[in-house]
Amino acid sequence: QGDTLETVIRLTALYGFRRSEVCGLKWSAVDFQQKTITVRRAAVMVGTKLECIDKTKTASSYRTLPLTTEMAQYLQTLKAQQEDAQKLIGMSCEEDGYVCCWPDGSPLKPEYVSRRFDKLLRENGLPKIRFHDLRHSAASLLLELGFSLKDIQEWLGHSDIATTANIYSHLQYKSKVEMAEKAFHSKIFRSGSATAILQQQPISIPTFSTRRRSRWRKRLVQYWENAARETRAAWDGKEYPIRTSLEQL
């Protein structure tokens, strides 16, 4: 709080902005009436000069996200403070100034953001991470809260869902482990009764002849009985093998 990067970190931690997106964010992209924030510009270095271009990394990167009540209040306060600071130093306030900027209204350079972020972590004894990891943290939190990869793809502005899946599939595996534990701990499964398992969740059987349908169901029952028998043998009265930490898997 109170640091040059306070606004940059707040926005990136919540919205998962790229460094170029948060540095290029202007007040015209913040709609306090509709409560939205739109990513439509990027700050890039051209030689030694910073330029804000009306173009994002990909077409999917252009996105509009909801402005939370808390963030709206914070940004309204910030905007008023910026206007007061610029008047104090005798500058006229730009109608479309940068959200993340120096007191004189000039934007923060992406390279400065990375350097200052690294120094900020060291000064406060925090673990070393990249600034870009704040984007990953935002995505991890959304996934932990139960949002789908499709939701996260649109939130982060990935060009396709495959990109999102490749980056965060390891986090999805954690939920699969939890699903497996619940399944193995259920009374139905631990009873070892294939008939009970089949009756617990009705199975839609394809349209076969009566003889083929009977044969198909018999094979399925046999499969579940074998699976239950093998699982009980593996347990052998001990702790369930599925109880393995995510780090060990």
Encode pLDDT of 13-34 as tens digits: 999 899 999 999 999 999 999 9
Give the separation between CA 96 and CA 103, rounded to whole angstroms. Answer: 15
Two tokens at 183? 């399944």
With H, G, I as helix, E, B as strand and everything else as coil, classify residue 87. helix
Q: Of 48 and 53, which is predicted with more confidence?
A: 48
pLDDT band at 143 (very low <50, low <70, confident <90, very high): confident
- For residue 100, pLDDT beyond 90: yes
* pLDDT the model gives residue 244: 36
| pTM higher than 0.75 | no
Cβ proximity of 31 and 105 under 8 Å: no
Task: Tell me how many helices (H) and strands (E) the chain has.
Answer: 10, 5
Cβ proximity of 4 and 16 under 8 Å: no
Cβ proximity of 173 and 140 under 8 Å: no
> What's the CA dihedral at 54, 57, 59, 62 to 10 degrees?
-60
CA angle in degrees (0–180, nearest 5) for 83-37-105: 25
Report pLDDT digits (tens) over 196-242: 544 555 444 445 555 665 666 666 666 666 665 665 555 555 444 43
Span 180-193, mean pLDDT?
54
* pLDDT the model gives residue 5: 95
